[in-house]
Homo-oligomer: A and B are copies of this chain.
Amino acid sequence: MPPDTQAKKINRASFEPAYMQLVRMVSEQIATGALRPGDQLPTEGQFCTQYAVSPMTVRRAINILVEKGLVSTTHGRGTFVKPLDIGRATFRLQELKNQWTSGEIDVALLEASIQSADERVARKLAIPIGERAIFIRRLVLQGETPAMYHREYLIYDPRRPVVEDQLQITSLEGLLQGQSGEGLRRGELSIEAVTLKEEEAELLKVPTGTAAFRLEHIFHDFENHPVSWGWFICRADRFKLTTCIGADADA
């Protein structure tokens, strides 16, 4: 434990809550190297007296530091600064929305039809082979340039207010604006790298064989049945995920 560097006070008049000020102050000490990986933080009690706050406030601040991955706590031992861990990096899909909502986005519906499910579609949607399913192809345009190509298979259920609603489900409007499907409970997503097939390349106006991201999705309803399965093919030059780890990741 380093000799106490300098204990700034909590500003009670600030709009910033006390626990956040604590988080920020400790984060800065870690960022500047005043606290190094492995160092022990002051104990809960020490924080309380140093900053004249209650234990709950200290604990809240420490919990946030733990979630940020900056420190780790061990029950009877103490709280310690963690070294950089590359495994903690997380890439947020939200980033794409931000990248894209800055410009003009158009969604072109290329196809919307009823198809009979082949083996693959049947398996993904958990329906019998040959059952009818809705098939949709869309193209997302950023200005004049195509950015993503979307293929999606949807459960066809004549009892539901189908197509119109379903066209909204996982719609790119939803993806880009904010919220999708009201009737959906959970989704699974995955990302891989692929090379573009001829059809995809033509639509995206890049050479066949170009690299691209494939963002696959499958959504389930409240009965936990699959509702939709599909994937976005994203031009690599329009799709990049970035993130930061360590101190100063945000503040």
Contacts and interface: CB of A to CB of B under 8 A. Distances in A.
Interface of A: 30-33, 36-38, 56, 67, 82-94, 96-97, 170, 174-175, 178-182, 184-195, 209-213, 217, 219, 222, 236, 239-249
A187 B86 contact: yes
B93 A186 contact: no
Contacts of A92: 87-90
B86 A170 contact: yes
A235 B219 CA distance: 27
A193 B90 contact: no
Contact of A193 (B188, B194, B243): B194
B87 A190 contact: no
Contacts of A38: 182
Nearest to A220: B246
Given A192-B240, A193-B213, 11 more contacts: A36-B182, A85-B178, A86-B180, A87-B94, A87-B175, A89-B92, A91-B93, A189-B242, A190-B242, A193-B194, A193-B236
Contact of A91 (B91, B193, B219, B247): B91
B195 A209 contact: yes
A189 B94 CA distance: 16
Contacts of A222: 31-33
5 contacts: A30-B185, A85-B178, A91-B91, A185-B246, A186-B245
A186 B195 CA distance: 33
A64 to B, nearest CB: 10
A184 B33 CA distance: 9
A244 B90 contact: no
